[in-house]
Structure 1
Amino acid sequence: MSGGKDKIPVFPSRMALTIMKARLKGAQKGHSLLKKKADALTLRFRLILGKIIETKTLMGEVMKQASLSLAEAKFATGDFNHIVLQNVTKAQTKVRNKRDNVAGVILPIFEHYTDGTDTYELTGLSKGGQQINRLKKNYAKAVELLVELASLQTSFITLDEVIKITNRRVNAIEHVIIPRIENTISHIITELDEQEREEFYRLKKIQGKKKIMRAKAEAEKQKRALEGQDDDVPNLIDDDVDEDLLFES
Structure 2
Amino acid sequence: MPAINVNPTRQELTRLKGRLKTSIRGHKLLKDKRDELMKQFMDVVRENRALRAKVEAALIRAHGSFTVASAVMSSEMLEQSLLYPKQSVELDMTFQNVMSVNVPVYQFKTKSDDAGEIYPYGFATTSGELDDAVDALSGIFQDMLRLAQIEKTSQLLAEEIEKTRRRVNALEYVKIPQMQEAIKYISMKLDENERSSTIRLMKVKDMLLKEAIEEKREEDARAVEAFGGRLDDPESI
The two structures have a TM-score, normalised by structure 1, of 0.80
How big is the shift at 1:88? 2.5
Give the corresponding residue for 1:174: 172
Rounded to whole Å, the distance in 1 between the matches of 2:28 and 2:101 is 17
Rounded to whole Å, the distance in 2 between the matches of 1:227 and 1:149 is 113
Moved more, 182-191 or 58-67: 58-67
Rounded to whole Å, the distance in 2 between the matches of 1:195 and 1:120 is 86
Asked whether 1:98 is paired with 2:94, we answer yes
Asked whether 1:114 is paired with 2:110, we answer yes
Rounded to whole Å, the distance in 1 between the matches of 2:118 and 2:3 is 74
Q: How many residues align?
A: 223
1:168-204 CA-to-partner distances (Å, cap 9, x unmatched) read: 1111111110011000000000001101110111111
How big is the shift at 1:128? 6.1
How big is the shift at 1:121? 5.2
How big is the shift at 1:141? 2.1
- Is this contact kept in 1: 2:119–2:134, CA < 8 A? no
Within 5 Å, which residues of 2 pair with 1:1-249?
Answer: 6-74=2-70, 79-85=77-83, 87-88=84-85, 92-116=88-112, 117=114, 118-119=116-117, 123-126=121-124, 131-228=129-226
1:32 to 1:181, Cα distance in 2 relative to 1, 3 A: same
- Is this contact kept in 2: 1:20–1:185, CA < 8 A? yes
Rounded to whole Å, the distance in 2 between the matches of 1:120 and 1:17 is 73
How big is the shift at 1:71? 4.0
Look up the equivalent residue of 2:139 and give its one-letter code.
K
- Is this contact kept in 2: 1:52–1:152, CA < 8 A? yes
Rounded to whole Å, the distance in 2 between the matches of 1:103 and 1:227 is 94
RMSD: 2.3
Rounded to whole Å, the distance in 1 between the matches of 2:104 and 2:159 is 14
Look up the equivalent residue of 2:221 and give its one-letter code.
K
Rounded to whole Å, the distance in 2 between the matches of 1:11 and 1:84 is 78
Rounded to whole Å, the distance in 2 between the matches of 1:218 and 1:179 is 57
Identity %: 26
SS in 2 for 1:98: strand
How big is the shift at 1:228? 2.2
- Is this contact kept in 1: 2:90–2:108, CA < 8 A? yes
**Unaligned 5+ residue runs, structure 2?**
228-237
The two structures have a TM-score, normalised by structure 2, of 0.84
Rounded to whole Å, the distance in 2 between the matches of 1:120 and 1:10 is 72
* Larger helix fraction of residues: 2
SS in 1 for 2:124: coil
- Is this contact kept in 1: 2:118–2:138, CA < 8 A? no
- Is this contact kept in 1: 2:85–2:118, CA < 8 A? no
